Chain A
């Protein structure tokens, strides 16, 4: 057990067990749950929407970006603001290292967290903000692919944000002057809580804390509960978490998919019948069907390539990328474009492509069958061998630039178009209408992503592919899982009265809405703890029938608590001479007085005189100066100090009392 010296937050939470919601981006969730006196963080998503307010960081200096005009708000002369803001096509950007919006840190003291459970690699990007330099002492659990691919995402992000040219230091002044700035900058949410990305050292320290678990592995959390990661079908290693004690079950469903793609399918059975179901990270593009989008993408790419243009897909280094490579290469083959090279540019491209092919135990059954042949589960290994697919750490790799041929398809990051190789390629191709950029990642609004590159001549297509549950799939899932209570971010509920209706989750179970920074009580209440009873002790008790189907007996047991596991065994005899508390006797009704008089006679206490009154009876034993006052709910014996007489009295009363 961890020792919590500071009682503050924890005690408060114990009184009102909430899930805390620390993120305002429902697709990048971060909750804190108090369960069995443990503080459990579910996911730690990093909202990157804030970077859209910044100017792009080109990997090589860009004269266009450098020559953008400064912006000063009208009627304001603030020398501190000098050079912080630039204007491009009527929109204002901050010229600085981009900043991110980590989970709220004022609501829960991160040093008090016991466990962090991560559902998939898109929901762990804020981990270093939580675990490093915060006094965090708990455990972090994730599946092996989540850890590895999460590492790729984070390392790529860290390398790009730190490796960009330009970006004049840290602009700060503009945050004080929000009220005079134009939209959308003026509408930025809490920019003062935005943070620069963590250092590479903090990143590797944070990842070193992660303990790897497999699907369906029961992780014992401080002896208080079992946490199990079960497949969620969304991406390699993606998991939903089931928290279970002997009497309670909480299911956390985040980033799940019921579609058939490359990962292992979702395991719904494990989520059924939870006391509380927490639902997060539904699709960000409910209006777009991922299959149609994939088809559109192939068509747009083919048309562009046929016309001699090249295609840029700003993507993350894993995930849907694997499906894109598989589908697009097959589509180009049938379209007679088998000669078009495919490039993946990322500092982690080689690792990501190689790694995906050793995860045989985490892929769909179809892909798994290939491993038994033995062949790689993903076709991109064969594409690399055939020279069709090439990967490079960066655009200015010698080998890569020597080999670069157009028209081609380039997959590279970052999908926000604020840093990474994609920035340079958009700069390069923006003025040529033959080229096309196709957005597939759903995390950023594509027009906002393109804003600092306007005016743009190249074609832009929006084909978001988000395989997470959409609203109708989620509603169906909730109906099938039958939780006793449902908890979801407020964004997923029906629109408040008066507002335009929106797709939402509608369940016929009590539903708790979670709002950033706010806490709400959950329904799981405990009254019993699971223990084991030793055979020896069980053999000693002789339960009696209390009524049909229910038997009971007083029980005194030695209690042993080890690793929070409770066991009951035969109590050792009390030290001689010292008294000890006894197991309680449950007497169900008053003794029958006539029987009592009879019993007293048998015990050698004859001559009892009985006086009956309205509220009971008094049995008088004059020879022993003893009164037994029998009432409906109590029998009171007034006796002298003679222990022998008292024991006789006890036996007599016991003989005529129905009891357990």
Chain B
């Protein structure tokens, strides 16, 4: 039994720092290469020494696949390619290749310039790293080498997010990255065909949540924002520059337009325009509606949303501010939070998941005081709201995807252990397939059935099809072929016996058995033969029986009736060695009839 081995270096029973090692058919593939936002030390990056304690890493990894541009999926890539020294192929989609370097640079600035970290990758390293990336398009089948094939499917989670189907020989795996099964305001829903992989590696961020309808969540969000600004409060919405931010902007923009509101809305990024330009260029990756209307109206040209300036932080009066980063772990959003948190008319809305260790995670868990590295303590009096806008599949969506692609095994990553347990149970019960959830560093081995490619003679198949179609239709009927298996240069073929003789240039030696049965049956021998045929037809269901005069034949079995009109008949039964089964059965039948 050939195996598929999976070892998560990150995202095993954990969210953040996705990095999964996959080995099958002698190939090693790294799925995502993310960093953990909750750590500032070496735990931030995956433990590459697991792959090879010392020496070059390139010979150990056949390719790296990045599912989308979020830093917990691609954040460690420059570290791996420029500092650890990986030089092999890296694959991602075109939008990911375009956007990932911007987010990486953003993060680098926060880490190095704000926090003063050293031993971090440089801007040049990010550029060099991205140069090594091979961009792929959706559904394009890419041969990484002679045996390893990959193919991207639409995942919907953010612009350019993809799921990857990976095949080596007859084994195949689907890795979902993060995905979303419900279309939103700017992206479509994830889609995959019935590819029946041996293993599906799926994220399970919302393993236990069934989210209420999207419209309700949106209405809720708008209501809360509106109520807060009406009372003169300030609303902070920490987001990542690309992705959810654009969806929420579209949402607020249309609401402001409809309600004719005048409160200022800011997007705190010099990047806004650039970010929106990416959405324009890659509009083929957005949803149907935006693609259809983009010629008339660009959804990413906002009228009400203005760029933010740092001096606005202390402006009096109501405002709504989108600020990065999304988990309040550094940067501008954290600065604004520190200023606004002590006032109870203000509000912070966390529109996505926050990993452990971030300020976002702390306040969502009800922390009323937050302490920072420099001993600064901030009191949190502002309202803290959590709205699940992050575009992950919920439990229903995950089950749906399993149904779509019909995997033989499922492996859960990118989720919390407890919730995974629950989902694992559900999957095993509902689909009757094995489900795994290895922890980081734990290797999971999955057996897959062997399938060996073989060439079958068309003559053999056609003869079988003729026999099969001659019988009344019955879906349960077993279909059987008989032939000669031929092995040459490690290639298999199944031939019919004559083709085999031709192939090796010999004459076949045929062995035939003949026995005689005496039968008292006055009358012409043709009559006797007809009686025999009736008997055989009853007993031999599914066989083709032919009769001509006093000769009956079934496959290679020949039956011949001889004798004068009023005397005992001699019935000769003759068959080739190969049809011993059938021949002896017919002979036995005739013998018992005679007695």
Contacts and interface: CB of A to CB of B under 8 A. Distances in A.
B486 A550 contact: yes
A382 interface: no
Contacts of A530: 453-456
A372 B98 contact: yes
A641 B587 contact: yes
B450 A538 contact: yes
B581 A582 contact: yes
B530 to A, nearest CB: 22
A534 B450 contact: yes
A579 B585 contact: yes
A527 B457 contact: yes
Given A579-B585, A633-B508, A534 B295 contact: no
Contacts, number: 254
B510 A633 contact: yes
B295 A350 contact: yes
Contacts of B452: 532-535, 538
A559 B457 CA distance: 13
Contacts of B466: none
A535 B456 contact: no
Interface in B481-525: 481-489, 492-494, 496-497, 500-501, 504, 506-517
A361 B283 CA distance: 11
A588 B455 contact: no
Which of B281, B295, B497 has the largest count of A CB atoms less than 10 A from its CB?
B281
A427 to B, nearest CB: 30
B94 A361 contact: yes
B40 interface: no
Given A581-B582, A582-B581, A358 B501 contact: no
B510 A587 contact: yes
A579 B453 CA distance: 30
Interface in A215-239: 215-218, 228
A356 to B, nearest CB: 11
B139 interface: yes
Nearest to A545: B487
B480 interface: yes
Contacts of A371: 94, 98, 281-282
A151 interface: no
B135 to A, nearest CB: 8
A646 B461 contact: no
B190 to A, nearest CB: 17
B386 interface: no
B137 A215 contact: yes
A640 B572 CA distance: 11
A188 interface: no
Nearest to A580: B581
Contacts of B492: 533
Chain B contact residues: helix, strand, loop or mixed: mixed
A167 B181 CA distance: 53
Given A561-B479, A583-B482, A533 B451 contact: yes
A532 B453 contact: yes
Contacts of B488: 549-551
A588 B509 contact: yes
Contacts of B456: 528-531, 566, 568
B478 A586 contact: no
A552 B484 contact: yes
Given A531-B455, A535-B452, A589-B509, A551 B482 contact: no
Interface string A535-569: 11010010100110111111111111100001110
A351 interface: yes
B3 interface: no
Contacts of B489: 549
A338 interface: no
B591 A582 contact: no
A641 B517 contact: yes
A653 interface: yes
A526 B578 CA distance: 29
Contacts of A376: 281
Given A550-B487, A553-B485, A636 B512 contact: yes
Interface string B77-109: 000000000000000001001100000000000
B538 to A, nearest CB: 12
Interface residues of B, number: 83
B485 A543 contact: yes
A634 B507 CA distance: 10
A70 interface: no
A635 interface: yes
A321 B170 CA distance: 47
B511 A635 contact: yes
Nearest to A566: B456
A354 interface: yes
Contacts of A210: none
Q: Which of B481, B488, B504, B584 has its CB near the most chain A CB atoms (within 10 A)?
A: B481
Secondary structure dominating the interface of A: mixed
Contact of B97 (A217, A372, A527, A588): A372
Contacts of B508: 586-588, 633
B116 interface: no
Nearest to B296: A350
B464 interface: yes
Nearest to A585: B578
B385 interface: no
Interface in A320-366: 350-351, 354-355, 357-361
Contacts of B541: 578
Interface string B444-485: 000001111111111101001000000000000011111111
B294 interface: yes
Interface in B253-298: 274, 277-278, 280-284, 294-295
Contacts of A527: 457-459
A361 B514 CA distance: 73
Given A526-B458, A582-B580, A586-B500, A554 B509 contact: no
Nearest to A348: B295
B346 to A, nearest CB: 35
A489 interface: no
Contacts of B578: 581-585
A584 B483 contact: yes
B482 A582 contact: yes
B140 interface: yes
A447 B494 CA distance: 64
A547 B515 contact: no
A634 B451 contact: no
Interface in B155-213: 170
B526 interface: no
A332 B582 CA distance: 89
A213 B511 contact: no
A660 B139 contact: no
Contacts of B483: 554-555, 583-584
Nearest to B504: A546
Contacts of B138: 214
Interface string A624-643: 00000000011111111101
A584 B457 contact: no
A120 to B, nearest CB: 17
A635 B509 contact: yes
B294 to A, nearest CB: 7
Contacts of B593: none
3 smallest A-B Cβ distances: which pairs?
A535-B450, A579-B585, A217-B139
Interface of B: 1, 94, 97-98, 135, 137-142, 151, 170, 274, 277-278, 280-284, 294-295, 449-459, 461, 464, 478-489, 492-494, 496-497, 500-501, 504, 506-517, 540-541, 555, 577-582, 584-588, 591
18 contacts: A216-B137, A372-B98, A374-B280, A529-B455, A532-B452, A532-B454, A552-B500, A556-B480, A559-B479, A560-B479, A568-B456, A571-B480, A578-B585, A581-B579, A589-B506, A589-B509, A634-B511, A649-B513
Given A555-B494, A635-B510, A650-B577, 16 more contacts: A215-B137, A217-B141, A228-B141, A372-B98, A374-B277, A530-B455, A535-B451, A552-B486, A552-B487, A552-B504, A560-B479, A568-B494, A571-B478, A571-B480, A584-B578, A646-B513
